[in-house]
Each structure stands twice: as structure tokens, then as C-alpha cells.
Structure 1
Amino acid sequence: MRIVITGGAGFLGSRLTRALLALRGAEGGLPAFDGILSVDLAPSPVDDPRVASVVGDIADPAFAREVIGAETAGVYHLAAVLSGGSEEDFDLGMRVNLDGTRALLEAARATGRAPRFVFASSVAVFGGALPEVVPEATAVMPASSYGAQKAMGELLVNDYSRKGFVDGRACRLPTIVVRPGKPNSATSSFASGIIREPLAGQPSNLPVPMGTRLWLSSPDTVVANLVHAMALDGGRIGAWRVLNLPGICVTPAEMLASLERVGGPAARALVTERRDERIAGIVLSWPGDFEVDRLLGLGFRRDADFDGVVRQYRDEFVS
């Protein structure tokens, strides 16, 4: 039996792969597995005999049925066209983010085994007037194509679970900070950039107001929560399978204060402020804080503070 990870070659997918490999079989409630299949547009960077890679188009129903079959113990669906790319290319976003999700769910349904299915959603499903702290049952009103596509994916996962086709969990991920490497097409990419680039001695720009409330999580915490989401018994989640994964509410002003404490004043001085209305218009529609007491009670976790998030990145990626 194996676990399938779409987007398995990416930063989050490869990190999740390594975390799962460190576990043993059905440890902690995970379905028993002895291998991982990475599905992406590139091979997995994880060099381990238990990891196989398949390159292909998840929106192709035939390909989806090739990678999800009777031997599938569980599915992590992380692959997506990110927020900026979805806004610029509507058809591509719909094909990958909506059609691809439906193709994977149909392939899981065809196994007749109701495998556990963890769908990576986003706080971008929210928009409009929101309370300071968003309750679990708040209705979604996306202000971007990406958010709309993720919201539709959530409904699909929930209904396929209701019908008993999969045992689904739709996890709304906080913005993951700090991502290594180069900026990506996510509208929230700046949130990593204003930490990553200065720590490398490079300039970076903040395109949103200093007081913007952001819902953030470190990569290690997100991965731990994704593992827990797969392991958690569906009966404890309830009929509505959408989960607002815990994060911490931080403003760019607070992020830059952490940068200065961890990286020094010279790093902080490399960040400029130049508003980008396209980015700000989307990011300011997102909620900055959530009620997560129930999720913490279910065993999910959150980072203690943003200084720790910056230190985690510095210690792992900055020489």
C-alpha cells in the first residue's frame, strides 16, 4: 500500500514525503503504507527506495486512474496553480485546481475503498466583510479565481465524503513562511520574500500595508498538521470536512521586527515599502485570524511566535 502525493516534487510535497518516511506504517492512526508515489510535473527530489515518481497531468482522468488505484492507502492533493497564476490564466487555474481535483476524487471513488483524501485548500476562499477573528462556520466569499477554485474543491471533497466515496479532509493552509528558493506565483509570496531575501543580504519589497494581518505558519508546523489530518479519525472531524489549520496572526511590522531581532538591523534595512495595488487588493480580502480552539483540541498545532519561524528558516537554510 502507498500514499499518493500530488505536487510531491515541490517544497511542501517533498517535505511531507520526508516526514511520512520517518514514520512507521500506521503510526499515530495513519493508514498502513510501505511506499509513497509522488505525482507532479517533475520527479521527486527525495532519494529513497520507498519513493516512486510519476510525471503527468492530474486533470487527465486516465492519468488520475493510473496513479490512484486499489493499492492507494491515502491521497494528499497539494498540486495547484497558485493564486497569481490562477488570476492571470483563468482557464489553466480551472483545469488544474478544479478539473484536476475532480479527476483525482473520481479515481479515488473508483477504487471502492474510500481512501483518506487530504485536500490542500487556502484562506483565499474568504473575502468580503469579516470579523476580527473568523469563526469556523463563516461562509466563504472568494475575491480571486484561486480562492473560488479552492472553495469549489472543498465542496467536492465534502460531498464525496458524505457519499462515502472518500474519507476526506479539506485543510485550509495558512500562508507558509518562510519558503526557500525563489519567489513563486503566489500572491502571498512577498511574506517569505521579506524574510528570505534580507537574510541572504538581498533587497526585498513589502507590497501591502505594514498593519495587514496575515495568518501564517512555518513549514514544519504545516507538515505536522497535514500528517495529523491524514491520521485523525474522520468521526472526530464531523460531517463538515473543512478545517482551518492553526496559524499565528502576524502583521508585516511584527514580521520585520522579528527579522531585525534574528537577522540584525542590516537585514531589516533591506526591506522597502512600495504598495502594489494588485497584490494588496487580494491579500487585504483574506482573514488574518481564526478561532482554532477546536482544532487545537483535536491535536493540531501552531507556532509559538514569529521569531521562532524566522529562526527555523535561518538555522536550516542560511549558512
Structure 2
Amino acid sequence: MRIVITGGCGFLGRRVALKLTGDIADRATVARVIGPGTDAVFHLAAIVSGQAEADTDLGYRVNLDGTRAVLDACRALGTAPRLVFASSLAVYGGVLPSKIGDDTALTPQTSYGTQKAIGELLVNDYSRKDFVDGRALRLPTVVVRPGRPNRAASTFASSMIREPLAGQEAICPVSPDTVMALASPRRIVAGLVHALGIPGEAFGTSRSLQLPGFSVSVGEMAAALRRAGGEAAYARIRWQPDPQIQAIVSSWPPALATSRAEALGFGRDKGIDEVVAAFIADDLPLQKQLVA
């Protein structure tokens, strides 16, 4: 089986490639990569939320034009390859119910969320026309990401665990009572790969699916850091409110209704302590080398 992963050098892309043993908006480049013999595509390439908000043209070029290029390259094959599209909770926004699910109206409040919502609709339409066999997964915020902080509005959620455990200070720009829906890298990668194996007809009329996550407050995340790393690690968090980041994060749904995904075999993390322990086991040694 030949599988193409867009964004393969990114955080999730590298991990999906491991699990499975150019310019995304340049149609010629994409067509060369997604060529004859391609059986499946993981479309993970994207400009992150904060950067897409700051640079509107770049966000639309990569997150919308790039998605169109990938879909059209798949269509040109004439074989309806399976496609897994990484969407986001950012497709929701504004006044939300206590729990959001697959049937919650898409009301994004950011350019990134708008681009992901359009991408979902495109995946559904191309699947309806049998150009691709697509599935669009709405990912919870992924924690703990290894590496360095990026320009995503959610970057603090990983940073406030990652940096203190590696001996560095971290800035938290939101209040401790902010509640987020999270999932670990282990769980997200398992979900992306699991989605590839599900028959398209199992999704019914909607190829969009909310992946399971767990709800936790930022204060509870800090408490988990304290349990794992002690007082010294906890003291490395610097609470510096940023109204713009707070507004973006507060527009995201804090709780998820995911019975449909669970019926299709997708699992969830047990809680924040398990997630922190997974980061310590999987990534902390290399993280310490990175910042040394």
C-alpha cells in the first residue's frame, strides 16, 4: 500500500509515518507526490491557528488552497483513494451547548477554524461524488507536544507541562479555570490510523467525526505537573494573562459528545496524569537534549 502524508515533517505527520512504518498549495508539486499507485492520503499539513489569524493570506493559501490541491490530486487518480483530513475543534465557536457533538453547528470564530470547516465540507462533497473516500477528524487540542512553542493559540497547553519538566520556565496566558478538551499524541495518532481502516460507508452521510477527548481545567493541568515534577517544576509556570489568547481558547468547546466515534472504535485518554506520564516516557529525554 502506498500512503502519502502531507505535513509529514510536522509533529503529527512524523508520528503517523512512524506508526505506519514542497509547497502544499503548489498543485504541480502535490500532483507529483500523489501519483499513480497512491492508496491513501493523510492530509495533516496546515498553518496553525495563531499564525493563520495573523497572516490571513498565508492561512488561506495553505489551509484552503492546499486542501483543494490535495483533493484534486486524489480526484485525478480516478481510484477514489482513502483520505484522512485533520480538522479541529476550532470549527466550533461563539455560544455553544454544554457539550458539542458531530451535529453541532459549525460557527468558527477564527480564520483557522473557517479554513478547517471549509475543508470538511470539501471532503464530504468529494466523497459524495466518489472522487475520494474521505474522513475528516475533528481533533481535540493535542497535549503534550514535544519541541518548542509555536504560534498556535493552544501552544501554552503543551508548554506549561513540557518546559517545566525540562527545567525551563513556561508562560500560561489563560486563567486556571479555563477548561479545554484534550487528547494525547498517542491517542491522536492511534485515531488517525484507525480512521484509515474504517469503511467509508460506516460514516453515513457525514464524513466529519469528532474524536474523543477529555475535559480538564488549566489549573488541573498545573496540578498534574506538580504531581509529576514536584514544586520546582510547578514554580516554573508564569501566569501572564493575554486577552487575545484567552478569547480564542474560550471560544473552543470545553466538552465533547463522541458516542458516534466511540461506536466506530475510537478510544480516549483516561486523564491528564496519564497524558503527562506518556510525555515523560515518550519525549522528555529528547526534550531535555533539545533545550540543553
* TM-score scaled by length of structure 1: 0.88
Does 2:44 correspond to 1:8?
no
Question: How far, CA to CA, are the matches of 1:229 and 1:297 in structure 2?
Answer: 12
Aligned residues between the structures:
285
Stretch moving more, 302-311 or 130-139: 130-139
Q: Counterpart amino acid of 2:29?
A: F
% identical aligned pairs: 56
1:213 counterpart = 2:179: yes
SS in structure 2 at match of 1:264: helix
Equivalents in 2 of 1:294, 1:157: separation in Å? 19
Task: Tell me, yes or no, if the aligned pair for 2:100 and 2:253 is still in contact at 8 Å.
Answer: yes
Shift of 1:263: 1.2
Aligned to 1:233: 199
C-alpha distance in structure 2 between counterparts of 1:135 and 1:152, whole Å? 18
Which residue identity does 1:17 align to in structure 2?
A
Contact 2:139 2:188 in 1 (8 A): yes
Cα distance between partner residues in 1 of 2:181 and 2:209: 14
Specify the SS of the correspondent of 2:116: helix
Deviation (angstroms), 1:281: 1.2
- In the TM superposition, structure 1's runs of 4+ consecutive aligned residues that sit over 4 Å from their partners are none
The aligned residue for residue 276 of structure 1 is: 242
- 5+ unaligned residues in a row in structure 2: which ranges? 286-292
Indicate the SS of the match to 1:259: helix
Q: Which has the higher contact order (CA 8 A, sep 6+)?
A: 2
- Structure 2 match to 1:76: 42
Aligned residue number for residue 225 of structure 2: 259
CA distance in 2 between counterparts of 1:135 and 1:314 reads 31
TM-superposed CA distance for 1:198, in Å, is: 0.7
Give the corresponding residue for 2:289. Answer: none
RMSD: 0.9
2:12 aligned partner, one-letter code: L
Aligned runs of 1:1-319 on 2, under 5 Å?
A: 1-21=1-21, 56-319=22-285
Q: Do 2:101 and 2:210's aligned partners in 1 also have CA atoms closer than 8 Å?
A: no
Q: What is the alpha-carbon distance in structure 2 between the residues aligned to residue 318 and residue 128 of structure 1?
A: 36
In the alignment, the residues of structure 2 paired with residue 84 and residue 291 of structure 1 have an alpha-carbon distance, to the nearest angstrom, of 26
Q: Secondary structure at the match of 2:61?
A: helix
| Deviation (angstroms), 1:278 | 1.3
Unaligned runs of 5+ in 1: 22-55
Query: Does the 8 Å CA contact 1:127/1:143 hold for their aligned counterparts?
Result: yes
> Any idea what SS the aligned residue of 1:133 has?
coil
Specify the code of the residue in structure 2 equivalent to 1:230. Answer: L
CA distance in 2, matches of 1:231, 1:225: 10
TM-score by length of 2: 0.96
AA aligned to 1:316 is: D
